[in-house]
Structure 1
Amino acid sequence: MGKVGFLMAVFVCVLCVSEASVYQVGDEQGWEQYVNYTEWIASKTLHVGDTIVFEYDKERMNGMVVSLDDFHSSCRPIRIYQTGLDKFISVKRAHLYFICGFPDHCLHGQKVDIRILESPALLPQTTTQSSRDTQTQPLSSNSSPSPQSGQCETKIVVQQVPADPRSRTKLVKETTKK
């Protein structure tokens, strides 16, 4: 790739990052019991590159990433967070489930189901040029074929960045074979 192509790719990446949004879970109510997170997330559309912030009293609650089954039963967390101010940058399209692991907090509504969509800048767009149709491909394809049932297990891996008030946690979706 020539210098112009490289610079164009860098510009597009910077443009995508600058358009990212920050979402505080629960808005001004934060991560708390008795908040309707289903209603909260219904008014949001999160994309790759957006930041999800959980703010809460770490002495009274936490945040846990769980599977869909455990979202309903609160059994085994994939990862537990307890800093009181947890930040995640979505780096891939994903469907994430967060709950509070303190007794009865899930029963009081402290859980949220968040879908992360492709960044609008990365979605394919169709254009027509004279007599031939062309399709613009996304800069980076994060999609992979859907696995057949029983062939693989999906995990969400979290990579901590060194402690720093400006640091963030990155969410990465990984698929591993059973």
Structure 2
Amino acid sequence: MAQGRGSATLGGLLAVCLLLGVVAHIADAETHTVDWSFNADAWSKGKRFRAGDVLEFNYDRTKHNVVVVDAGGYSTCSSSGRTYNSGSDHITLGSGTSYFICSLKSHCGMGMKMAITAN
């Protein structure tokens, strides 16, 4: 019987270690304040992003919005994704490339779009 209790303790210890690793990864996440303007893609150049990081978009909601799109929407400036329009949006990055555009007044076509790759 003692052997069974030891296995349960080891399993519990493993679960705690795994949970601490997840919490540590979340604690390492950074918040990046985005320069959401007509040259937004230039803002992201040279920066490193990780899954779990948060992008903070601050803008005048009467003039702009943020739309999460796929690669096709990014290339063609078509807004088929989720639209944010609070003027102070916080979007958590997943792993891979995330695409953002402003869908108002042809702003995307004037350079108000951004692709972010998170590892």
Give the shorter-chain TM-score range: 0.7 to 0.9
Give the share of equivalent positions with the same residue, in percent.
26
Q: Measure the CA separation in 2 of the matches of 1:10 and 1:104.
A: 45
Equivalent of residue 50 in structure 1, options 38, 49, 53: 53
Which residue of structure 1 lines up, in the alignment, with residue 83 of structure 2?
80
How many aligned residue pairs are there? 110
Structure number with higher helix proportion: 2
Unaligned segments of structure 1, at least 5 residues: 118-178
**Alpha-carbon distance in structure 1 between the residues aligned to 2:71 and 2:15:** 40
Q: Where do 5+ consecutive residues of structure 2 fail to align?
A: 1-9
Q: What residue in structure 1 maps to residue 37 of structure 2?
A: 32
C-alpha distance in structure 2 between counterparts of 1:15 and 1:32, whole Å: 33
Higher relative contact order structure (alpha carbons within 8 Å, sequence separation ≥ 6): 2
More strand by share: 1
Distance across 1 between alignment mates of 2:111 and 2:118:
21
Larger Rg: 2
TM-score of the superposition, structure 1-length normalised?
A: 0.57
The CA deviation string for residues 75-113 of structure 1, in whole angstroms up to 9 with x for no partner, is 2421111111111122x3121111101112123211001
Which of 24, 32, 52 does residue 23 from structure 1 map onto?
32
User: Deviation per CA, 1:116-144, whole angstroms, max 9, x where unpaired?
Assistant: 21xxxxxxxxxxxxxxxxxxxxxxxxxxx
- Report the residue type matching 1:86 in the other structure: D
DSSP-derived class of the 1:47 partner: coil
RMSD: 1.5
Q: CA deviation at 1:72?
A: 2.2
Q: Find the residue that maps to 2:18 and give its secondary structure.
A: helix
- TM-score, normalised on structure 2? 0.82
Q: Provide runs of 4+ in structure 1 moved above 2 Å.
A: 36-39
1:27-53 Cα offsets, whole Å, 9 max, x none, are xxxx123xx333221121111111111
